[in-house]
Amino acid sequence: MLEGLEITEINLKDLKNENLTFRIDSEFLKKEYLKNIESLKKYKYGFFKLQNAIQHMTGGATPLGAEYSENGIPFLRVQNIMQNYFSLNEVVYITKSQNDEIKRSSLKYRDVLLTITGVSYGKSATVTKKIEGSNINQHSVKITLNDKLNPFFLSTFFNSSFGKLQSDKSIVGVTRPALDYEVIKNFTIPIFPITLQEKIELLIAKSEEIVIQSQNIYKEAETLLLETLSLKDFEPSTDGVNVKSYKESFLTSGRLDSEFYQKKYEDIESKILGYRNGADILKNQIEYITTGEYASSYESVGMESVPYIRNNNMKKGHIELDDEYNVNPNNFKTKANIGEILTSRVGTIGLFGVIKAGQENCVYSDNILCFKLTGNYIPEVYAMLFSTELYKLLLEKLAGGSVQPLITQTSLKELPIPNVEYSIQLKVADLINESFRLKKQSEQLLETAKRAVEIAIEQDEDAAMRYINNQSLLKN
């Protein structure tokens, strides 16, 4: 009768122990959760509860009536807090007065951040000097530690399988999962040797250093491309008036909204279409264009699953896959192919990414359009171009929809595309590829740090140090 079911026996005394939220559901008592805590408590140097290393812990907040600014103080949301690094591509800003309202959660160097709500709970990163002074919303907490624990080790531990299982065990809520503050304070932390903790910090610092190199090279590539097109520092008109005849407006475009005819859009289009080496519109330079498919449910990572690409996975011409959303490809008709360009079509428009080797056969969301360029167009170069601020303005023009911006296949086809000389494309592409290579190297360093923590617990710290020292990327 019970065949195939997982059964855990536990006495009442043990159930009450460390059960701060008075859970009696079977999920709380899964064998992998109990085995995880048992492994941590058997660590040869011992363990302690996180609260013993906390000097101060507080959650963030959103200022009343907050309207985000284009500049000011960075306001980090869960999509900005990744595993031991910060993604600032979609960061929003608050004013100084708004920041003063929530100054208790203002970030200081070496604070540890942990996301505590939604599907992205349990991600952690340590505050670097680059983002010191930023603030966070209520979906994350910041932890200031005493000298008992290295913050970079703690964030790495949170992201490791041993830390993530504690988060999974402690999460409560169905529609909006959340981690309770007191539960976090009660996390079991192994006592790592200081030398290994400091080695973990060095790996993360090296990763950040390489990320900065990657960003500088990407900026160099973007500058070369925009200078070639005479778009570097180009400022379109700010004139709010643009007179058009009926023939020049509705009869040509089918649009009557004044927003569509702003002078700034016309200036950008004229500049691109007047490029010295020629230009066209996208519909004449693509093999095909398709829309992705809706996924009604997701699967865990497995042999039969592939990543499900969403808007959030596209970062300035690059597609960053994650393990949070996976689907069975056999349930979908559209699959990604190498060299295709994806772009967001609903909500946050202007996000582009290129499908690279290893990403083929992934499935992309119904909120994404996919197209393949013809001829001598290097997709990485044009994904970068389409991701620039000037092109975001053009996509803003083409977007319809009253509730949220919407780009259709038909409207995207009207995007102007310059015929950049192939020799210049190659130079830009080389810089882009070097930038992405360095970014990948930085990610490998973070993965090395996380895996080293796991090896130290599974085996010992000597094995962890050997693993770190054997990584070829550290010898460069």
Read off the pLDDT of residues 345-384 as tens digits, 9 standing for 90 and up: 998 888 999 999 999 999 999 999 999 999 899 999 999 9
Domains and CATH numbers, the chain: 12-187 (3.90.220.20), 201-213+428-474 (no CATH), 230-419 (3.90.220.20)
Question: Would you list the DSSP string of 170-190?
Answer: H-B-SSS-B--HHHHHT-EEE
Contacts of 193 (CB under 8 A, 6+ apart): 45, 461
Alpha carbon separation from 62 to 99, 101, 257 (Å, rounded): 9, 9, 34
> What's the token pair of residue 224?
């070369």
pLDDT tens across 237-286, in order? 666 555 555 444 444 554 545 566 577 888 899 999 999 999 999 999 99
Strand ranges inside 107-264, DSSP E: 112-115, 124-126, 135-136, 140-145, 188-190
Question: Could you tell me what percent of the chain has a pLDDT over 90?
Answer: 69
Q: What is the pLDDT of residue 66?
A: 73
Structure confidence by residue, pLDDT tens digits, 303-341: 688 999 999 899 888 898 887 789 999 899 989 999 999
Task: Annotate 416-455 with b (16+ C-beta within 10 A) or e (fewer).
Answer: bbbbbeeebbeebbebbebbbebbebbbbbbbbbbbbbbb
The three-class DSSP label of residue 455 is helix
pTM for the whole structure: 0.83
Q: Which single residue is written with the structure tokens 């080389």?
A: 430
| 337's tokens | 């192919």
CA–CA gap between residue 329 and residue 431 (Å, rounded): 33
DSSP character for 466?
A: H
Q: Rounding to the nearest 10 degrees, give the CA dihedral for residues 430, 435, 436, 439.
A: 160
> What token pair was written down for 320?
């960053």
187-199 confidence digits (pLDDT tens): 999 999 999 999 9
Q: What does the pLDDT read at residue 254?
A: 47
Are 293 and 366 a contacting pair, CB within 8 Å? yes
Length of the chain: 476
The two structure tokens encoding residue 34 = 């109990």
The least confident of 90-94, 235-239, 410-414 is: 235-239
Tokens of 154: 């703690």
Backbone angles phi, psi at 472, to 5 degrees: -60, -30
Distance CA(274)–CA(285), nearest Å, equals: 17
